[in-house]
Every structure is written in structure tokens, then in C-alpha cells.
Amino acid sequence: MNKLLASSLSKTYYSAGHKLEVLKNVNITLAQGKTIGVIGSSGSGKTTLLQILAGLEFSDKGDIFYNDIDLLANGAKKFNSMRSQLFGFAYQFHYLLDDLTVYENCNLVFRIANNKNKLKNSEKIMTILRDLGIDQLKDSYPFMLSGGERQRAAIARAIVHEPMFVLMDEPTGNLDQDNAEVIQDLTIKLAKNLNIGIVVATHDLKYAGKLDSVFRIESGELKSI
């Protein structure tokens, strides 16, 4: 089972003479097929932790390993070369491109990776869209979709390339409760079926309670609950 291991991550921000320790010696392990919830108040460091886990921001100290590969070695070159293979991302806002259809938004992942196997890519896209219940919307543009449909399309784009892990930052924060619960359950089901590890930063305690394990960030420390 592939794992992402983060050890002793610390991050401090400085602004106008003030010091804010956002993360203090944080340790967390994410395994394929497992789901983790990270809760905490606004500004507690949830988003910072996700950014650091993905190598989109760097900690002041600490290590991140993918199995036995040190992702931060040699100026994080491994992180940069492996990021698209390792991660998918989903956020509170969908960030779909308005001038592309649902199908084209998903296919953009393969185009960026210069993956030219059009038949296989198309099969993957349609399978994920069917699993998320939006295959009939493949030719629709984002403005034609409801909020729940847009978020399903964004999640499809996040997982269509079969990453090892998906990092989700308040993925259902903009949805009503009914739509949020449907998408939460679908996401958890897909994580298990596709053997994807998921970390969700959320304010929704009910959502967090559905996940395999839950952590709270308090005063920069990550505590299991």
C-alpha cells in the first residue's frame, strides 16, 4: 500500500512584526484507499497543511516521503516531477474553465500531462462521470450546471487521472446540506473503489465523522480525535 508520510512539519508566518506559528511539528500519514478529515477553526492552518502536503507551499522544517522517496530532496525536484502522478485537488470553488465543457475540463488533465491515448482517456472520463451521475452533462458548460453538478465535475477532474491521493479543501462548503451529503458519500465511495487516499479539510463535523480518521488543528498542533 502506497503511503504519503509527513514528519515534524512546522510553518511560521511573519507579518508587520507579528509571528504566527501555523503548524508545529505536525505528523500525518495518508495511505491509498484511506480517508482523513482535518477540522479546525478558520485560519487554524488546514489549508496550509494541504498546500504543504502537495508541495505547493513549503514548511520551515520537516520531511515528506512518498514510500521511501524523499520528495523534498534536491530542491524538491521529486515533488515537482511527481506531483501530477501523486495528487488531485478539489476546492470549495470549482475552478472549472468556463469556456470548456465538463468533458473538456476533465480531458484538460490529460492534455497538460501530454497523455495522447485519446481512447483510454475518454473511457476513463466517461467512467468517472457515470460514477458521479453526470455523464449526461458531458457536453454542458459550467454556467449550465447547478452548484452540485459543478462540484461533481470538479471532483471528476480531480480523480480522472487516477492519482494516489486527493486533497480536498472544503469541497462541499458552498452547497446546501442535501447536495453536500450526496457528494460527500460519492467521494468516499470512489476513494474506496479507486483506492485513492483522501485528505479533507472541512468545518462539517458530520462529514468528518464519515471518514476513517479525523484530526483537529489547535494552536498549530495536529491532534487525533
Q: Domain with 185 in it: what CATH number? A: 3.40.50.300
Task: Please provide the size of the chain in residues.
Answer: 225
User: Is the per-residue pLDDT at 220 higher than 90?
Assistant: yes
113 vs 150, more confident: 150
**Whole-number Å distance between alpha carbons of 172 and 152:** 10
Torsion of the alpha carbons at 165, 166, 167 and 168, rounded to the nearest 10? -160
**Whole-number Å distance between alpha carbons of 133 and 173:** 20
pLDDT confidence tier of residue 53, bands split at 50, 70 and 90: very high
Domain that holds residue 109: 3-224
Contact 23, 220 (CB under 8 A): yes
Q: Which of 52, 65, 54, 3 is nearest to 23 (CA)?
A: 52
Q: Average pLDDT over the chain, rounded to whole?
A: 91
Name the pTM for this structure.
0.88
User: Is the per-residue pLDDT at 18 higher than 90?
Assistant: no
- For residue 44, the model assigns a pLDDT of 87
Total count of domains within the chain? 1
